[in-house]
Homo-oligomer: A and B are copies of this chain.
């Protein structure tokens, strides 16, 4: 969230358990990429649901190195911001970081992926590390229509046969039972055995 215009200052809330939180405290620098509307769920899964403690997120991701030496993701992004840590505020399980904009780049024109679009159109769920996470939150109306859905017990992603998993090569209308066993959860990467059938 932008909180001031001179200098341009951005606030970012991060769970204290994340590796990024450690990195910002240690380096006093960070970057933010603005995700495009059509970003694949796998991309969101990698950056939003997996930890840099377990995988190298930059291994198969395009990025640029800023003047501060901080990497900025350019895959599936419209723009990035390079920031210097100005201040921070404790908020329980989270820290609110204030960053001063020192560098930025517009990568391409396009529409931003809003949280609303991610929930309603992509049927994505909220990470338990996100400030907006709530247990037992109702699924969006768009995503709770007909047909039997399956929920990932690891990350709560819902497989909706009406939508399939386009990014994962599964066409709309494919029942969960008909998905190949090699398929992986687009968010957290676990296999089909970690999914449970949802009550209608």
Contact = CB atoms under 8 A, between A and B. Distances in A.
13 contacts: A3-B91, A4-B13, A4-B91, A4-B94, A5-B132, A6-B92, A9-B94, A9-B131, A11-B11, A11-B13, A87-B89, A87-B90, A89-B96
A65 interface: no
Interface in A1-35: 1-7, 9, 11, 13
A133 interface: yes
Given A4-B131, A91-B9, A114-B114, A98 B96 contact: yes
Interface in A80-122: 86-87, 89-94, 96, 98, 112, 114, 116
Nearest to A128: B5
Contacts of A93: 4-6
B94 A3 contact: yes
A114 B91 CA distance: 26
Contact of A89 (B7, B89, B112): B89
Interface residues of A, number: 27
A87 B11 CA distance: 14
Residue of A3, A94, A112, A132 ringed by the most chain B CB atoms within 10 A: A3
Contacts of A134: 5
A89 B96 CA distance: 10
B89 A131 contact: no
Nearest to A133: B5
A1 B96 CA distance: 11
A157 to B, nearest CB: 19
